[in-house]
Every structure is written in C-alpha cells, then in structure tokens.
Amino acid sequence: VTAEEGVQLSQQNAKDFFRVLNLNKKCDTSKHKVLVVSVCPQSLPYFAAKFNLSVTEASRRLCGFLKSLGVHYVFDTTIAADFSILESQKEFVRRYRQHSEEERTLPMLTSACPGWVRYAERVLGRPITAHLCTAKSPQQVMGSLVKDYFARQQNLSPEKIFHVIVAPCYDKKLEALQEGSLPTLHGSRGTDCVLTSGEIAQIMEQGDLSVKDAAIDTLFGDLKEDKVTRHDGASSDGHLAHIFRHAAKELFNEDVEEVTYRALRNKDFQEVTLEKNGEVVLRFAVAYGFRNIQNMILKLKKGKFPYHFVEVLACAGGCLNGRGQAQTPEGHADKALLRQMEGIYADIPVRRPESSAHVQGLYQEWLEGINSPKAREVLHTTYQSQERGAHSLDIKW
C-alpha cells in the first residue's frame, strides 16, 4: 500500500460513515445524501453467529439497526454476484474454445478477490494478469448498480448517493479506492466506503438504540427480500461451481447437478473434474490462501499446472474467514466462531444466477442487451501490470 493509499484507507472507517449521517441531520439540505448500504452474503453468518440469530433474523436485525441510524436503503450484493458469475461463465467458454498452442487463453483465474488481483497486478505481472477473468467483482458491479441503475430509478445524480459496502475483508477497502469510474457515474466512485463486518458489529455493540427488525430492500421498487439466498460456494460466491456446470453443459452437453470436490495438498486446494469417454475434459481447482497461491504460481512457472480454471482467494478458508470478521481480540482466527459460521452459511438456500428474472430484466432494461457494448463497459475491466512480472516468472503456459 502506498502512502497516499494508506491515507485514503484510513478515511474509510466508521467516522466517515457517521460524517455523512450527521450531515443529513443538519438543515442544509443541499449537502444531504441518500445513504445506501450493500451487505455481502458472507457477512451475514458472522452477525448470525455473533448474536445467536438465524441468518434471516440477522439480516433483518442488521437492516433495522442501519435504518435506525439514518440509512435509507439496505441491499444484498447477491444480485451483483449474479452478474459477475454469468459474465465469467461466458468468458470461460469463449477462452476454452479459443485456446490453442498459438493463443494460450487458459487457465482462467478468477477476479473477484481484490487481495489476489492486487498481488497479481503488482507482483506477478502480465504472464498472470492475461489469465485473469475480465468480469468485474461483485463489489464493482454493485457500485454500478447503485450509482447508475438505482440512481436513475430515484432520479438522483450519482454524487448525491453515499454508498457503503459491508464486507468480510479489509482488501475491499482498497478495491473501492481503485474502482474506475464509468462515464455514466460522472466521475463518482461506485463505492464510497467499505466497513468490515467487525466494524459494523462494534457500532451495534456500542449503540443503545431500540432496533426494530426490517426486511432487506431490493433494487426493484417497494419490494422486500423475503429470504436470504447465496451462491453455490462453501465459503465464497461459488464461481467454480457455477462456471463448471455451465461449461459442462455448453461445451460437452453434460448436466452436472452435484459438484464433487477432491482435496489435494490441503482443504484449501481442491479440484473438480469432468470425464467424458474415459478422458478428463474439464479440470478446475480452488486455491485459497497465499501459500496455495504461491504453489500454484510455481507450478505455472514450471508448466506443470493442468487446470483450465482456478477460483483464487487470498484468505485461507475463503471469504467467510476474511480478516474483517471471525477474529479474536488478538487478531487470530476465531476457529470456533468460524465453524459456526460455516454451518450457518451451508444452510442458506442456494440460488443459481441463471434463475434470476430480475437479472435477465436488468440486462435488457439497464444494459441494453446481454452482449451489448454497455454490458461490456459496465461489467468488465482491464488490469494494470508490472513489466518485471514477465521477467521474474518466465512462465510456460
């Protein structure tokens, strides 16, 4: 982190959040902002475990608390992950079909984890960033949904909205700083502030407000979210499972209901394969934690990494184990709390992104079609790379 980034990160805290809340309480309405909070699904099991609630009760209690402070809308970022996964699915199929000795487009590496993406850009360089999926992360997509689509629904300019993300991970704060602004956002960042689950829990514990439960809002009029859903990942948004099923059907006409993981070096490095006529035609892996990531890079360098796709996350244990939650006061992982959270997360109903009528509608209403230029602009990104990465790795794909 540069000195300038360090200063900017220090400003992304509860004081910044309360500064906007307090501005809204003053009489100068020209300075008032619409306060929107978007909550990552991996944060909800933390609140459920910490306050001994079901995950639905936790979401309603959190929403009620935030609104009692003065927040106007509370959204779930699952819909943003829908877009990220759907775009990743299409990109993988395209890369698989284009891959050849001359154009080595595989393996495709996920781009949803800001800690991993930053490491790839700043340390590993172009041999790796060329293989990062270009689909934006759920946080980046959520920023565009709130500051572009929702802003227009509310007849607001993007700068009149203050958008906060509640996330399990401190790296999300850095991601918010690096988000490029779309022309439709008029120079405004999609996410103004990221607060970790732990920071929100501290605010809740210090508050003495009488909180009423409130259902999570949706981006679609006056509807409320009746129940919490998630994607098919044990501790993440489950890019691997969704892309694997899609690729199996699209490329090999195979319907895969149950995705079976096989642990290799450890529980944070697992693989999934699809066989057809006795031959492995798809080989996917998850690599969580920097120890596994470094091992993956070493094998890539030696040309001994036989995977078509890897879901990469910087945190060992995945997003549920982000350092913004499930930590002891000494800064160590709270293993007992994490096991409880894993059980809670596993019980949340899984919803596949293809099944969302709202997402399909947004492709048409907001993005002017599934493969339109606007969809490409809003849902995809490019990466900055250090030149030295090419010399330091000398990877043979």
Q: Mind listing the pLDDT tens digit for each residue in 334-358?
A: 889 999 999 999 999 999 999 999 9
Bond from prior residue into 158 cis (ω within 30 degrees of 0):
no
Q: What is the pLDDT of residues 148-182, one digit of tens each?
A: 999 999 999 999 999 999 999 999 998 988 776 56
Q: Does domain 3-80+137-224 have CATH number 3.40.50.1780?
A: yes
pLDDT band at 25 (very low <50, low <70, confident <90, very high): confident
Single out the residue of 25, 70, 37 nearest to residue 207, CA to CA: 70
CB atoms within 10 A of CB 160: 16
Share of the chain above pLDDT 70, in %: 90
Q: Is 344 helix (H, G, I), strand (E, B) or coil?
A: helix
| Pairing label, strands 262-266, 269-276 | antiparallel
CA distance 53 to 344: 10
Whole-angstrom distance, CA of residue 273 vs CA of residue 281:
8
Domain boundaries, given as residue ranges, for the chain: 3-80+137-224, 85-135+232-353
pLDDT in tens, 205-228: 887 666 788 889 988 876 677 688
242-299 per-position pLDDT tens digit? 999 999 999 999 999 999 999 998 999 999 999 999 999 999 999 999 999 999 998 8
85-135+232-353: CATH topology: Fe-only Hydrogenase (Larger Subunit); Chain L, domain 3 (3.40.950)
Tell me if the pTM is above 0.75: yes
Per-residue confidence band for 31, with pLDDT thresholds at 50, 70 and 90: confident
Cβ atoms within 10 Å, residue 34: 18
Query: How many Å apart are CA 191 and CA 77, to the nearest integer?
Result: 12
Statement: residue 186 has pLDDT above 80: no
